[in-house]
Amino acid sequence: MTQTPSTLKSPPVKALQRFHIGQVGDDTVADYLGSSFSLAICCKRCQRLVEWSPPDLERRFGDRLNLRIADIAERLTCAAEDGCGSHDIAVFPHLYDMPWSWSGAKA
């Protein structure tokens, strides 16, 4: 988790409850890195919100750039110390608040 300042906010509860995995489409980790998107992760049950910034995404998934965000989302759990344990997690892109440029996959 990144401790940098962020403008990320929880989505409205109605939008959160309507979220379904099909909304994520076929975007991949590489798409997010190339677009300076953070992956915002919000638990539908307790509304706990986490941001995986582009550096976080690269650190976690830098060797699996073609991984679909939807596939990541399906495996997420609200599992940190203050999490509720729910598997019902919404994800959405958030434009990263810090400067970020990505030169593509490291060979």
| Angle (nearest 5°) at CA 18 between 38 and 25 | 50
Should residue 46 be labelled a site residue for Zn ion when binding is judged by CB under 5 A?
yes
Identify the residue among 42, 43, 72, 76 touching Zn ion (CB under 5 A).
43
Size of the site for Zn ion (CB under 5 A): 7
**What SS3 class is residue 13?**
helix
Contact 45, 60 (CB under 8 A): no
Should residue 48 be labelled a site residue for Zn ion when binding is judged by CB under 5 A?
yes
Which segment (21-29, 57-65, 76-84, 92-100) binds Zn ion by CB under 5 A? Answer: 76-84
Should residue 67 be labelled a site residue for Zn ion when binding is judged by CB under 5 A?
no
- Count the alpha carbons within 13 Å of 19 in the hemisphere toward its beta carbon: 25
**Greatest C-alpha distance within the chain:** 43
Should residue 86 be labelled a site residue for Zn ion when binding is judged by CB under 5 A?
yes
Should residue 84 be labelled a site residue for Zn ion when binding is judged by CB under 5 A?
yes
